[in-house]
Amino acid sequence: MTAGEDITMRRKKIRYRAWHRGTREMDLVLGPFADRHVDTLSAEDLDRFEALLDEEDPPLLKWVLDQEAPPAGVDLHFLGRVIADHRSRMAK
């Protein structure tokens, strides 16, 4: 397997994880973000996205909806990108 195939498979797995969260609400936040951005994310940003995908849905949804502040250790910059993407899609 080449490095290109490795990154391609990684992106497919991330997209799958984003669309199959366990709660439909988070599928609809993270899935479209993955569809729009995963193919252009750097390896570092893929790491950041995977870390966000490791979070549990209930608190993650509260962070996205600005109902609760994320705890220390959450990548606020990357979470902000996901939230901005979601809000821009909802504004249409």
CB 52 within 8 A of CB 75: yes
Contacts of 57 (CB under 8 A, 6+ apart): 21, 22, 23, 25, 26
pLDDT at 2: 59
Q: What is the pTM of this model?
A: 0.91
d(CA 62, CA 44): 25
When divided into structural domains, the chain yields a total of 1
Mean of the per-residue pLDDT values for the chain?
94
Q: Residue 48: which CATH number?
A: 1.10.150.250
Percent of the chain's residues with pLDDT above 90: 91
- Tell me the pLDDT band of 92, cut-offs 50, 70 and 90: confident
Print the domain residue range for 16.
3-90
Residue among 68, 60, 81 nearest 17 (CA): 60
CA 10 to chain CA centroid, Å, is: 14
Whether residue 13 is predicted with pLDDT greater than 70 in this model: the reply is yes
Helix (H, G, I), strand (E, B) or coil at 67: coil
